[in-house]
Amino acid sequence: MEENTRAGAPITPAPLCRAPAQGAGISGSTAADTTLGRAPAQGAGNKAGGETGSEAEKIIEIRDLEKVYRNGAIEVAALRGVSLDIHKGEFVAIMGTSGSGKSTFMNILGCLDRPTGGIYCLEGLDINEYDDNELSLIRNQKVGFVFQSFNLIPRTSALKNVELPMVYGKVPAAKRHARAHALLDKVGLGDRYGHMPNELSGGQRQRVAIARALTNHPPILLADEPTGNLDSKSSIEIMELFAELNNDGNTVILVTHEPDIAEWAHRVITFRDGLIISDRTNPPKAPM
């Protein structure tokens, strides 16, 4: 690892990855609980975008994050020292053009990939310390993915799709059914439990995907261009749903290249050439 003295990456003696008393560890499953979303820890105190008051719990701590891809003798640095904190209850948009490093950053945030340098702590867990199977468990318990192309399992009902993370989280069948039903009700698909993905519209598929992301009460919702394949009406509906989930206390991280989608977030972080070039708060958009 390189020395930690590059610009914008000050040496931080602050203790990282000290597991908070609550909600840490990857063994405990909270998915058995059928209540929706995560209750906000501090009430409405962290609603204001970008306000990182000391009372709000840090969910993500990132220091000097680097990612270098090696292709033979050629090295390509996708991330060149990124530091960032995200607190519980935030609604963050990550922007950037293609090649800016935002996709690499999102893969690392979602524990699909490991950094080649720096530290990423998710709820007090240093993900560099875990092997592939443990990362699977971390993804299962701590990350709710929403993808641009929905990524539902084909020929599998909406209900079964929503249950899937609980299957891998070893939640008993009866509890899985109850929670999946409740989540589909929550995203407004209460009448389409048994529908196959190809029987649903794009907006409906994305709702199923959002319900699936919520199943194991993950501390972060990670949405990668969630409206990229949707028409403008469905896009607004999906963004309203994210705003509502954030309002319920969920931490939402949104990766997008569309400025009007980013406007829904309370904090907008912009990447260019593997570095953060701006990190601004955003007046929250009033739900329509």
Partner 1 sequence: MLFLENVKLALLAIKSNKMRSFLTMLGIIIGTSSVIAITTIGDGASSAVSAEFDSFGKNNANIYPNTYGMDYSDSSDRFTSSDIAALNERFGSEIEYVSPYYSAATDVKIGRMSGQFNLSSVSGNYIHVSGGSLAYGRDFSQSDIDNRREFVIIPEEAAKKFFGRGDVAGESISMSFAGQIREMTIIGVYRQKDSIFSRLMSGTSYAAYVPYTLWNDAPSEILDLYVGSSQSISASLDKITSYLALIHKRPADHYIGSSVEAQQTRMTQIMGVLSVAIGAIAAISLLVGGIGIMNIMLVSVTERTREIGIRKSLGAKTGDILVQFLIEAMLVSALGGLIGATLGIGVATVGMGLANVSVNVDPFVVLLSVGFSAMVGMFFGLYPARKAAKLDPIEALRYE
Question: Which residues contribute to the site for partner 1 (CB under 8 A)?
Answer: 107, 110, 112-113, 132-133, 136-137, 139-141, 145, 147, 151-156, 164-165, 167-170, 212, 216
Q: Between 112 and 182, whose beta carbon lies closer to partner 1?
A: 112
Q: In the bound complex, what is the minimum distance in angstroms from residue 139's beta carbon to partner 1?
A: 5
Q: In the bound complex, what is the minimum distance in angstroms from residue 263's beta carbon to partner 1?
A: 27
Q: Between 40 and 110, whose beta carbon lies closer to partner 1?
A: 110
Q: In the bound complex, what is the minimum distance in angstroms from residue 237's beta carbon to partner 1?
A: 23
**CB distance 96 to 102 below 8 Å:** yes
| Phi, then psi, of 274 in degrees rounded to 5 | 80, 15
In degrees, to the nearest 5, what angle opens at C-alpha 43 toward C-alphas 26 and 244? Answer: 80
Q: How far apart are CA 50 and CA 186, in angstroms?
A: 27
Q: In the bound complex, what is the minimum distance in angstroms from residue 234's beta carbon to partner 1?
A: 21
Q: Between 41 and 137, whose beta carbon lies closer to partner 1?
A: 137
Q: In the bound complex, what is the minimum distance in angstroms from residue 199's beta carbon to partner 1?
A: 15
Q: Between 151 and 281, whose beta carbon lies closer to partner 1?
A: 151
Q: In the bound complex, what is the minimum distance in angstroms from residue 272's beta carbon to partner 1?
A: 22
DSSP state letters, the chain: ---S-STT-----SPPSPPPSSS-SSS---TT--S-S---TTTTTT-STT---TTSPEEEEEEEEEEEEEETTEEEEEEEEEEEEEETT-EEEEE--TTSSHHHHHHHHTTSS--SEEEEEETTEEGGG--HHHHHHHHHHHEEEE-TT--PPTTS-HHHHHHHHHHHTT--HHHHHHHHHHHHHHTT-TT-TT--GGGS-HHHHHHHHHHHHHTT--SEEEEESTTTTS-HHHHHHHHHHHHHHHHTT-EEEEE-S-HHHHTTSSEEEEEETTEEEEEEE-PPPPP-
Q: Between 56 and 166, whose beta carbon lies closer to partner 1?
A: 166
Hey, CA dihedral for 259, 285, 211, 32, is it positive or negative? positive
Q: In the bound complex, what is the minimum distance in angstroms from residue 143's beta carbon to partner 1?
A: 8
Q: Between 160 and 267, whose beta carbon lies closer to partner 1?
A: 160
Q: In the bound complex, what is the minimum distance in angstroms from residue 259's beta carbon to partner 1?
A: 25
Q: Between 48 and 77, whose beta carbon lies closer to partner 1?
A: 77
Q: Between 136 and 281, whose beta carbon lies closer to partner 1?
A: 136
